[in-house]
Amino acid sequence: MNVTLRQLEVFSAVARRQNYTRAAEELHMSQPAVSMQIRQLEDHVGLPLFEQIGKRIHLTEAGEKMVSYARIMADLMDEADEVFEALKGVERGTLSISVATTASHFATRLLADFAKSHEGITISLDITNREALRRQLEHNEPDLIIMGQPPEGVEVDATPFMTNPLVMIAPANHPLTQKIHIPLQHFAKEHFVVRETGSGTRGAVQRFFDEHDVPFNTEIEMTSNEAIKQAVEAGLGLGIVSVHTIELELETHRLCILDVEDFPIQRNWYILQRKGKRLSPAAVAFREFVLNEAGRFIRLPATLKPAKRP
């Protein structure tokens, strides 16, 4: 096949827009020029790539296949570009990072510092929960992911780089803040404000209570740690969150860590990518940065030891 990269680029734009005119606008070409590139590509392939149904155009089966080949070629060209730029000592390229909602509390700081010393790299950051990260891994979407325990069912290369203690929090004036070594059993009757199903924190806490055979009352669900902290402060229930999310509230004494037996729940943060993924030079640089520098950016609060513990 004598296909050109230009034909693939034009094809991808038409497939994405499902419209010749809009693809032509995107590519700053005339519509006849776009149609000609597609016709030539179809001649090379020997099959139609689009079909017109009513006013809209749709991909044929061959067209669907061509979409994946065009994507692979575009990724390879980007990779080649980055590798050659790296050989020239120029740092360029794009870096797409996805992090668990909870990790965003420190990941933004890490990225900001990385960006300062790698100005040529364009960074995109997606913040989502554990379940969504698992789906992204399956589709090999981001360059790198930062999350808690790597997911089961997807083969990954994962490296732990920092601890992630989960602590039980209460409003500063809560009577339990005066107690020490509170047995977990005490909380069988308490109400908790928890993250949504699919959150890594939620899963870890549920497992912990199950393992200790203590009921975990989860009537109030929220999709953000910020909302949980506000709800706990307002007295809606107790919370269990990563210590990385409450730096400010501890400093300003708006929340307290309770001294509960067997707490904190010990977890780790991992940086990972799908097994066998070829990391771009930008991704390799960021991975190294996280492994070497993360500790510098994350200040675990001194109050991780509960205030009342002798």
> Which residues are at the interface with ligand PGA (CB under 6 A)?
100-102, 129-130, 147-148, 195, 199-201
Of the pair 38, 240, the CB lying nearest ligand PGA is at 240
CB-based contact 46:57 (threshold 8 Å): no
Closest to 256 measured CA to CA, from 291, 301, 197, 194: 301
What is the smallest separation between the CB atom of 129 and ligand PGA, expressed in angstroms? 4
Of the pair 57, 205, the CB lying nearest ligand PGA is at 205
CB-based contact 188:236 (threshold 8 Å): no
What token pair was written down for 7?
């034909």
Of the pair 129, 280, the CB lying nearest ligand PGA is at 129
Of the pair 20, 106, the CB lying nearest ligand PGA is at 106
Of the pair 100, 246, the CB lying nearest ligand PGA is at 100
Give the count of beta carbons closer than 10 Å to the beta carbon of residue 214: 14
What is the smallest separation between the CB atom of 223 and ligand PGA, expressed in angstroms? 9
Q: Torsion angle, CA of 295/299/303/306, rounded to 10 degrees?
A: -40
What is the smallest separation between the CB atom of 224 and ligand PGA, expressed in angstroms? 9
Cβ neighbours for 57, distance < 8 A, ≥ 6 positions apart: 14, 18, 19, 20, 50, 51
What is the smallest separation between the CB atom of 274 and ligand PGA, expressed in angstroms? 16
What is the smallest separation between the CB atom of 193 and ligand PGA, expressed in angstroms? 14
